[in-house]
């Protein structure tokens, strides 16, 4: 008898982009002491339709119980597993400028299980300084830290010209997730995931939408 192959369900990017928002709202509800919530109640808070919420969560198994809604802590934990943040993850930051230091100072990363092990920079005047409890180290130490802590995630906060070389070096040493703030769309192998963040483009989109308000 021929063995049937399981078909992996393709999850849309729109659903994936909403998952961190679900996680954040559920976290807020837990802090308020709420234990259960229906899709209708959650929809009012998140400004989504109840149908959309049910469809999104059904991609991963549903998690709700008809007549009882969602157990908030259980759903929060399940979404953490889906987002791969149910276990602590070590990461590094490349670039100790204003943006790199701001990221290192963002306390919610640690709250969500992301631990920044070091910041790297080419400026010797910054070496051995700390941002919070994170030490700024020379670029030459990067490979050693990546190997020691088995780093898989890196935030790139440097100009676009050196960013290409740095990312290639990180990938050679086992980094598979790049959070890219450099002003360039970096190309990476298929087995590496990259999230390009262009702050100026986001600001320009905001400016456009403000202009639309005034043009009405």
Q: Do residues 36 and 78 share a domain?
A: yes
User: What is the distance between the alpha carbons of residues 143 and 139, in angstroms, rounded to a whole number?
Assistant: 8
In a domain, 37, yes or no: yes
User: Do 108 and 175 sit in the same domain of this protein?
Assistant: yes
End position of a domain, from candidates 50, 82, 114: 82
Sheet holding 153-156, edge to edge: 130-131, 134-138, 114-121, 89-94, 153-156, 177-180, 193-196
CATH at residue 116? 3.40.50.720
pTM for the predicted model, two decimal places: 0.86
State the total domains in the chain.
2
Q: At a CB cut-off of 8 Å and minimum separation 6, what does 147 contact?
A: 173, 174
Report pLDDT for 11: 86
Largest CA distance in the chain: 69
Q: Is residue 6 part of a domain?
A: no
Provide the 10 A C-beta neighbour count for residue 75.
21
Q: Residue 140 domain-assigned?
A: yes
Per the domain annotation, does 60 fall within a domain? yes
Q: Which of 153, 143, 176, 165 is nearest to 93 (CA)?
A: 153
Note whether residue 4 is domain-resident. Answer: no
Q: Are residues 119 and 140 in the same domain?
A: yes
Q: Is residue 207 part of a domain?
A: no
Domain limits for position 153: 89-201
Q: Which pLDDT score, from 0 to 100, does residue 42 have? A: 95
* 104 and 176, same domain (yes or no): yes
In a shared domain, residues 77 and 164: no
pLDDT tens per residue across span 149-193: 999 999 999 999 999 999 999 999 999 999 999 989 888 999 999
Same domain, 139 and 168: yes
100 and 75 housed in the same domain:
no
Q: Is residue 104 part of a domain?
A: yes
Statement to judge: residues 27 and 126 lie in one domain: no
Q: Decide if 51 is inside a domain.
A: yes
Question: Which residue among 26, 52, 82 closes a domain?
Answer: 82
Q: Looking at the structure, do residues 99 and 181 belong to the same domain, yes or no?
A: yes
Residues 23 and 107 in one domain: no
How high is the pLDDT of residue 1? 44
Asked if residue 98 and residue 52 are part of one domain, the reply reads: no
CATH number of the domain enclosing 73 = 1.10.10.10
Strand ranges, E, within the chain:
36-37, 70-71, 89-94, 114-121, 130-131, 134-138, 153-156, 177-180, 193-196
pLDDT at 6: 45
Judge if 54 and 105 occupy the same domain. Answer: no
Which residues does the chain have with pLDDT short of 70? 1-9, 62, 64-67
């Amino acid at each position: 008898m021929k063995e049937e192959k399981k078909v992996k369900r393709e999850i849309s990017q729109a659903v994936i982009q909403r998952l961190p928002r679900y996680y954040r709202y559920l976290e807020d509800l837990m802090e308020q002491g709420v234990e259960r919530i229906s899709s209708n109640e959650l929809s009012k808070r998140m400004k989504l339709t109840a149908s959309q919420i049910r469809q999104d969560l059904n991609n991963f198994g549903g998690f709700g119980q008809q007549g009882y809604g969602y157990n908030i802590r259980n759903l929060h934990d399940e979404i953490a597993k889906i987002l791969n943040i149910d276990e602590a993850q070590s990461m590094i930051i490349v670039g100790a400028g204003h943006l790199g230091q701001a990221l290192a100072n963002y306390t919610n990363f640690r709250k969500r299980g992301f631990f920044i092990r070091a910041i790297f920079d080419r400026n010797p005047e910054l070496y051995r300084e700390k941002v919070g409890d994170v030490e700024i180290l020379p670029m030459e130490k990067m490979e050693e830290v990546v190997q020691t802590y088995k780093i898989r995630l890196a935030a790139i906060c440097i100009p676009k010209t050196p960013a290409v070389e740095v990312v290639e070096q990180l990938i050679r040493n086992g980094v598979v997730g790049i959070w890219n703030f450099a002003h360039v769309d970096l190309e990476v192998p298929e087995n590496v995931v990259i999230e390009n963040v262009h702050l100026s483009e986001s600001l320009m989109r905001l400016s456009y939408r403000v202009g639309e308000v005034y043009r009405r």
